[in-house]
Structure 1
Amino acid sequence: MAKRDAIVPPGRQALYEKHRYSAAIRSGDLLFVSGQVGSREDGSPEPDFTRQVRLAFDRLSVVLKAAGCSFDDVVDVTTFHTDPETQFETVMAVRASAIGEPPYPNWTAVGVTWLAGFDFEIKVIARIPELI
């Protein structure tokens, strides 16, 4: 069995090591990205919700880039929300600026009661572009 091909962007290794997971795993031409949250540099939750969502998308972008991908390569998205009804508009606005134009990736939004102090989390699956 092949060893996991972990993607860990620079600057966050201690956080991933502390919690014992990888930012993403490459498997063939697919990239499975762990849930990204809007944390401050020390790993604590950003209290402003809009900023927290932007930071989560920013962190996701960094992981995608570390694997040679971008949001254009994302095929499946799952988001987790502690209060979907009140958060939806904010998430959709940030999403529109990150995801861009159609065709859009698959998207599943899940309401949850706990995200370790966070209010939003996003995880994706992306297809890794072929290197020329």
Structure 2
Amino acid sequence: MKLERVVTTPDNYAPFLLSQGIKFGNLLFVSGQAGAGEDGQIVAGGFRAQGEQAFANLRRALEAGGSSLEDVIKVTIFVTDMGNFKDVVELRRQFFTAPYPADTIAEVKALYNADVMIEIEAIAAVRTAGDA
């Protein structure tokens, strides 16, 4: 099997020499998605607005790789303040459905930009025509 790069338009990741995601067989590995809009700038409005944009970006990367939020197996959510944990749970409720994916939520000192409060990476299944 060969690796297949997932590309979205716009691709804010290209200047950093990394892929939005990599497909390998029926698995899709999506790079961390933050609350950046199409212009690459972090959205205004605080943690919840960034979280909604990060999940929207995750959805876009998953779909570009032939998957969806419903096919996410595992997510890792990085936050810069665990005080936002309740919002993370609400975001998961808004964007995922049962059975919910396996999850790790970790507080980190900083992300790639001082304004970024949340980043989400995922592993998802890529369904084929015969999959139920």
TM-score by length of structure 2 reads 0.89
Among 47, 54, 57, the residue aligned to 1:56 = 54
Q: Which runs of 4+ in 1 moved over 6 A?
A: none
Structure 1: runs of 5+ lacking an equivalent? none
C-alpha separation in 2, matches of 1:105 and 1:72? 9
Post-superposition CA distance 1:46-67 (Å, at most 9, x none) = 2421110000000000011111
Equivalent residue, structure 1, for 2:103: 107
SS in 2 for 1:61: helix
Q: How many residues of Structure 1 are paired with residues of Structure 2 in the alignment?
A: 127
Post-superposition CA distance 1:89-132 (Å, at most 9, x none) = 111111111002x2111100111001122010000000100135
Post-superposition CA distance 1:15-71 (Å, at most 9, x none) = 221111000000011000000000133322224211100000000000111112111
TM-score by length of structure 1 reads 0.89
Aligned-residue identity in percent: 36
C-alpha separation in 2, matches of 1:8 and 1:40? 16
C-alpha separation in 2, matches of 1:40 and 1:16? 12
Aligned-residue RMSD, C-alpha: 1.4
User: Given residue 40 of structure 1, which amino acid in structure 2 is its aligned partner?
Assistant: G
Equivalent residue, structure 2, for 1:43: 40
